């Protein structure tokens, strides 16, 4: 199952939300533009997640929330989402913070939740979403994704004893800033929102 299909891929030097560096940027904004094309993958992931017991699905804005809403519709569960909290930046790994909107925070105490994201590499937004749910008294019983890039995210949740469901896996190079070969070669970080040549 080709999750990425014809989505644009850029090569260069990029900073991921997790704080890691990579030489590839995947433009995921187009993933949910044609819902009918991605529907079979969402249905397949719903079947995998169905082996676990939960009553809500939660994902981070944007792609994780789109996926969570689609899965909640199929599975007949509640739908929640988290939004990024602006931080001062910095170079620490996994510094990103997400929160549940105020109106969604009530009633989560004791709720079992599946946390999902469209694509997971290091899992920064998923980790932050799990932390936001923990703060409300909810428990994450499974993490799911359409595609896993590399192994860091899956390994992290495995160590926590949280089941990890993924439709597909691809190798993906990421480096801590201190270990980044592109930094050592003085290759400037690029803003992925700026098209080449602009």
15-74 pLDDT, tens digit each: 998 999 999 998 887 788 888 888 999 999 999 999 999 999 999 988 899 999 999 999
Q: How many CB atoms lie within 10 A of CB 40?
A: 10
Q: Which residue intervals of the chain are DSSP H helices?
A: 35-49, 63-75, 124-136, 152-159, 181-184
Boundaries of every domain in the chain: 36-172
- Whether the full predicted model's pTM is greater than 0.85, yes or no, is yes
- Give SS3 for 190: coil
132-175 pLDDT, tens digit each: 999 999 999 999 999 999 998 889 888 889 999 999 999 999 99
CA-to-CA dists, residue 25 to 9, 13, 158, 162, 196, angstroms: 6, 8, 26, 28, 12
What pLDDT does residue 106 have? Answer: 86
User: What is the C-alpha to C-alpha distance for residues 48 and 144, in angstroms, rounded to an integer?
Assistant: 9
Contact of 94 with 18, CB cutoff 8 Å: yes
What pLDDT does residue 192 have? Answer: 80
Q: How many CB atoms lie within 10 A of CB 11?
A: 11
User: Considering the domain 36-172 in this protein, what is its CATH number?
Assistant: 3.40.50.2020
């Amino acid at each position: 199952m080709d999750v990425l299909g014809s989505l644009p891929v850029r090569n260069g030097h990029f900073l991921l939300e997790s704080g890691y560096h990579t030489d590839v940027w995947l433009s995921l904004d187009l993933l949910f533009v044609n819902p009918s094309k991605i529907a079979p993958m969402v249905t397949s992931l719903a079947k995998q997640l169905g082996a676990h017991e939960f009553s809500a699905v939660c994902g981070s804005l944007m792609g994780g929330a789109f996926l969570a809403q689609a899965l909640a519709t199929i599975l007949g569960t509640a739908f929640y989402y988290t939004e990024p909290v602006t931080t001062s930046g910095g170079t620490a790994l996994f510094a990103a913070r997400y929160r549940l909107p105020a109106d969604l925070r009530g009633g989560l105490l004791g709720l079992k939740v599946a946390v999902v994201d469209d694509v997971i590499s290091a899992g920064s937004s998923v980790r932050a979403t799990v932390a936001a749910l923990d703060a409300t008294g909810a428990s994450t019983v499974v993490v799911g994704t359409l595609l896993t890039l590399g192994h860091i995210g899956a390994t992290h949740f495995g160590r926590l004893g949280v089941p990890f469901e993924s439709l597909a896996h691809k190798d993906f190079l990421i480096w801590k800033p201190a270990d980044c070969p592109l930094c050592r070669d003085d290759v400037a970080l690029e803003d992925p929102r700026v098209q080449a040549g602009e």
